[in-house]
């Protein structure tokens, strides 16, 4: 696909040169190969913002390494009402105030997400780093009037690093419908990595969250917040956050994601009826792997299929053996009468790695039948319980009614 885009871009430049000079111009073709792909049609408005250290570009705006959000904001503000794209070059951009993406159909592209600092190779690509003065969030995707979502925003191919600045500070406040977050690295924010928040009158329908890597955020890595309805999350890696993923919006489709080693829980659902989780790896939580909390909202038609659960309930902040026990999946309700209805756990594996602390239960649905209604566990394999200290009680706890158990294999 990349080669096809490059060739089209080259042909476009060549055609312009041929029209002007009657022949294909080699310098124009050479220039086309060295410039970034603009992604959009010739009619779109595109700006290039260069970091203070990048070379070989012909930028529209050049940063000086201090308050670099100023130049990035100038480029966004210069886009027409219909939108356009801003390309950020390679290098580090120092961000001391939020960048506001407050127009429809704005695309911001980097030239590669690179790697977090301290890794085994250099932090190459496009990198936005928090600096003193930043509050709230680094990227704020929200219309100025704040009454409805922004349409069609795309953010892709760069890294944002909160550098653990005191806050809490979020990486991205995302209030776009039919938008796309792709190939972003989000690290070290003291708040949420990404907070997708809709409106009661207009949810964030049909937004895509794909190939995100969100690590070391103090609150939630990926927060699918209130009215973030009908989002699709795919091929994301969420690790070592306070909570890796929290769902408060309905009808989420989560596929092929890896959630691991959070400070507390891997996945917390406080709403999210009709959500589906497929082929995900959910492991290493200090507390629960998944919490289905119906204290405030019912959860209906939630499905886990083809998922692997391993070594949740590691209790890394507890004594050994732990004084508090945790499970791979737990349904809970601290008050009220809301239910977990038509929960389907199918074709999933549950295990604890050798020497890891044991979870209390693989699946804990409690003993109160009023908590559940018409739930199914089928095609499940309960594997090794681990050899470390822990309270392992049984593979499953469930009430006598309201749940059907199909084929279950105990290892």
- Whether residue 193 lies inside any domain: the answer is no
Tell me if 329 sits within 8 A of 360, measured CB to CB: no
Q: Which residue, among 195, 213, 221, 50, has the nearest Cα to 126 in the 3D structure? A: 50
- Whether residue 76 lies inside any domain: the answer is no
Checking if the pLDDT of 389 tops 60, the result is: yes
What pLDDT is stored for residue 2 in this prediction?
42
φ/ψ of residue 50, rounded to 5: -100, 140
- Whether residue 6 lies inside any domain: the answer is yes
- CB count within 10 Å of CB 217 equals 32
What pLDDT is stored for residue 41 in this prediction?
43
Q: Which domain holds residue 12?
A: 1-35
> Percent of the chain having pLDDT more than 70?
84
Report helix, strand or coil for 17: helix
What pLDDT is stored for residue 396 in this prediction?
92
pTM recorded for the entire structure: 0.87
Average pLDDT, the chain: 87
- The total number of structural domains in the chain stands at 1
What pLDDT is stored for residue 135 in this prediction?
97
- CB count within 10 Å of CB 312 equals 31
Report helix, strand or coil for 5: helix
**pLDDT tens-digit series, residues 178-229:** 999 999 999 999 999 999 999 999 999 899 999 999 999 999 999 999 999 9
Tell me if 331 sits within 8 A of 294, measured CB to CB: yes
- Whether residue 18 lies inside any domain: the answer is yes
- Whether residue 13 lies inside any domain: the answer is yes
Question: Which one of 41-50, 87-96, 322-331 scores highest in mean pLDDT?
Answer: 87-96
- Whether residue 29 lies inside any domain: the answer is yes
Question: What would the mean pLDDT of 342-348 be, rounded to a whole number?
Answer: 96
What pLDDT is stored for residue 45 in this prediction?
84
- Whether residue 10 lies inside any domain: the answer is yes
What pLDDT is stored for residue 193 in this prediction?
98
What SS3 string covers 33-83?
Answer: HHCCCCCCCCCCCEEEEECCCCCCCCCCEECCCCCCHHHHHHHHHHCCCCC
**pLDDT tens-digit series, residues 301-335:** 999 999 999 999 876 555 555 566 789 999 999 99
Query: How does DSSP assign 366-386, residue by residue?
Result: -S-GGGEESEEEESEEE----
Checking if the pLDDT of 143 tops 80, the result is: yes
- Whether residue 7 lies inside any domain: the answer is yes
């Amino acid at each position: 696909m990349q080669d096809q885009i490059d060739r089209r871009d080259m042909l476009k430049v060549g055609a312009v040169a041929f029209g002007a000079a009657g022949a294909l111009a080699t310098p124009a073709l050479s220039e086309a190969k060295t410039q970034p792909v603009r992604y959009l049609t010739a009619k779109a408005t595109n700006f290039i913002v260069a970091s203070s250290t990048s070379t070989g570009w012909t930028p529209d705006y050049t940063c000086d390494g201090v308050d670099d959000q100023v130049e990035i904001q100038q480029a966004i503000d210069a886009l027409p009402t219909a939108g356009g794209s801003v390309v950020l070059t390679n290098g580090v951009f120092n961000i001391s105030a939020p960048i506001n993406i407050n127009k429809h159909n704005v695309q911001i592209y980097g030239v590669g997400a690179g790697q977090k600092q301290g890794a085994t190779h250099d932090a190459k690509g496009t990198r936005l780093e928090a600096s003193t003065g930043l509050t709230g969030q680094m990227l704020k995707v929200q219309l100025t009037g704040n009454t409805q979502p922004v349409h069609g925003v795309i953010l892709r191919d760069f890294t944002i690093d909160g550098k653990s600045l005191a806050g809490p500070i979020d990486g991205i406040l995302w209030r776009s419908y039919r938008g796309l977050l792709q190939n972003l690295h989000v690290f070290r924010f003291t708040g949420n990595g990404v907070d997708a928040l809709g409106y009661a009158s207009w949810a964030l329908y049909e937004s895509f969250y794909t190939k995100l890597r969100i690590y070391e955020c103090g609150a939630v890595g990926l927060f699918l917040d209130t009215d973030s309805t009908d989002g699709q999350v795919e091929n994301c890696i969420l690790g070592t956050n306070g909570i890796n993923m929290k769902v408060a919006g309905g009808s989420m489709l989560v596929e092929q994601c890896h959630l691991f080693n959070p400070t507390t829980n891997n996945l917390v659902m406080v709403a999210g009826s009709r959500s589906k989780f497929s082929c995900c790896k959910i492991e290493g939580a200090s507390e629960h792997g998944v919490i289905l909390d119906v204290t405030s909202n019912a959860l209906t038609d939630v499905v886990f299929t083809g998922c692997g659960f391993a070594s949740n309930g590691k209790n890394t902040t507890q004594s050994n053996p732990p004084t508090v026990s945790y499970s791979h999946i737990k349904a809970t309700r601290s008050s009220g009468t809301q239910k977990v209805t038509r929960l389907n756990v199918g074709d999933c594996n549950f295990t604890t790695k050798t020497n890891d602390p044991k979870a209390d239960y693989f699946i804990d649905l409690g003993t109160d039948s009023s908590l559940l209604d018409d739930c199914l566990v089928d095609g499940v394999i309960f594997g090794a319980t681990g050899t470390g200290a822990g309270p392992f009680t049984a593979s499953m706890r469930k009430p006598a009614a309201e749940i059907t158990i199909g084929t279950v294999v105990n290892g």
